[in-house]
Amino acid sequence: MRLAGTDRKPIPGARSSGPIPPDERVELALLLRRRASAPPYPDVVALSRTPLPARAYLSREEFGRRHGANPEDVERVREFARTHGLEVGGVSVGARIVQLAGPADRVSRIFGVTLERWRYPGGSYRGHPEPASLPRELEEVAVGVFGLDDRPQAKAHFVRHRASAPTDVGYSPSTVAEAYNFPAGTDGTGQTIGILELGGGFSASDLQSFFGGLGASVPSVTVVSVDGAQNAPTGDPNGPDAEVELDIEVAGACAPGARIVVYFAPNTDRGFLDGLSQAVHDTTNRPTILSVSWGSPESAWSASAESAINGAIEDAATMGVTVLVAAGDGGASDGVSSGALTVDFPASSPFATGCGGTKLELSGGTIASEVVWNDLSMGEGATGGGVSETFPLPSYQAAAGVPGAPNGFVGRGVPDVAGDADPTTGYSVFVDGAGAVLGGTSAVAPLWSALVARLNEALGTPVGFLNPRLYSAPADTTFHDVTSGNNDGYSAGPGWDPCTGWGTPDGTLLLQSLRSPSGPP
């Protein structure tokens, strides 16, 4: 049985150099179906519209029992692997993922593909020109396979100001939190923020230097290795280390009482799915917020990977986990070479809260002006935003005035919210032994994650999937509406727009809105 949506075009400029060695080890994630006899899967939009005290989130354990993989299906996969010479690695019943591995020639025959080495300027990857197939024994068990193609999948969404990098002086993340009126008397105590990273790493000395400079203690930071990826600083302050340390330092400075768990995974579609799923279904660390600062244009993903990752984010919503995702730094085209308007995934998932970017100017700690972040003319990026050509318009956006997608599709609008992202008004952080000023929507996802941690603390319960409440909140009193500027495709205006969503938060007023016992209409 052919697996729809598993064929992928080569990376631009890539050429095949022939089949990979037959004994090369190939590691895969097999995604299984849900239990056939499970109770109905929850309507997460309806769940999120229920007043907070009455929301019935599923625990991770209960979710696995109700909506995870059928243990009998897992055993069928184990038996198939034994008879076909494959190794079985980790199994997550809740995430419905079984890890498999074997030599390339055997994997190629089982999944009906020709695995080739593709080389492009800057690197190489393993790929296949045809869609994958499921062997007959797995047709009724599995719904996806990931890892046959191991190309670099996502980009980190941080930007360093180039014009005066040695002398940049940015805002402290806590200063930005104060400008956005994060709720007083809260610091995220009792909350756990998960952060997904696809490369690089951090050092204890960098965190000590950063938080020591704030006169604060280093927060609790736990590292989780996924698919063999590790906390591995490269020593390049312009590389992925900047992403990792920006995420930790912004989240830790704005919610100093929260625990932080960093999930390091390989930068492939399998790594993204496994890392996200590990965080969502982690019964040890149990994050209630997940910050994702990596992504790529919708067209860069296979349909199969988009569906699986979107499903994992929907799973998070049923368990009260809020997923905040950077909307991208390439403007309305998301950096695609053709210049066509597109949005970044997974920010375009209808179950994620997409985070766009602004240029924030403060005076005496309060907002003096705020416009759409657009430094494309300087080569320093702009906020992503636009309309999905993959995911249809969700019900909670029905009255938001989302325009049609470039191809006429009635799609999901991105982003939902925003925050300071312009590197010229960026965040003062510490990376690879030195101070730096960084921007990008990468900073907005951990900023909002810290806000959600403080909201959870104040409410005494997870807010979970935010979007339906955000779209029914009184926008004129809950957000700083950003009405000026554009992202080279869309313009800002009153209310929701495809540049900054509803705008930037007034955290205290947002808390009051979430406390409303009546809930949204």
Structure tokens that stand for 138 in this block: 């797995």
Torsion of CA 322, 323, 327, 328, to 10 degrees: 140
- The packing angle between helices 269-280 and 303-318, to 10°, is 10
Structure tokens that stand for 467 in this block: 């979007």
CB burial of 39-70 (b: ≥16 within 10 Å; e: otherwise) equals eeebebbebbbeebeebebbebeebbebbbbb
Active-site residue among 73, 168, 206, 247?
247
Question: Which of 477, 467, 462 minimizes the C-alpha distance to 501?
Answer: 467
Beta-bridge mates of residue 344: 297
Strand order in the sheet with 434-439: 159-160, 434-439, 427-431
Active-site residue among 203, 348, 442, 449?
442
Say if residues 456 and 321 touch (Cβ distance below 8 Å): no
What is the full DSSP assignment across 69-126? --HHHHHHHHHHHHHHT-EEEEEETTTTEEEEEEEHHHHHHHHT---EEEEETTEEEE
User: How far is Cα 266 from Cα 248, in angstroms, rounded to an integer?
Assistant: 19
Active site residue 243: yes
DSSP state of 406: T
What is the full DSSP assignment across 13-56? T-EEEEEPPTT-EEEEEEEEPPPTTPPPPP-HHHHHHS-GGG--
Q: What spatial distance separates the first Cα and last Cα of the chain, rounded to whole Å?
A: 45
Active site residue 241: no
Active-site residue among 206, 243, 245, 282?
243
User: How far is Cα 294 from Cα 281, in angstroms, rounded to an integer?
Assistant: 20
CA quadruple 119, 120, 126, 129: dihedral sign: negative
For the chain, the maximum distance between any two Cα atoms, rounded to a whole number of angstroms, is 69
Active site residue 442: yes
Helices (H), 139-201: 173-179
CB atoms within 10 A of CB 233: 19
Catalytic annotation, residues: 243, 247, 442
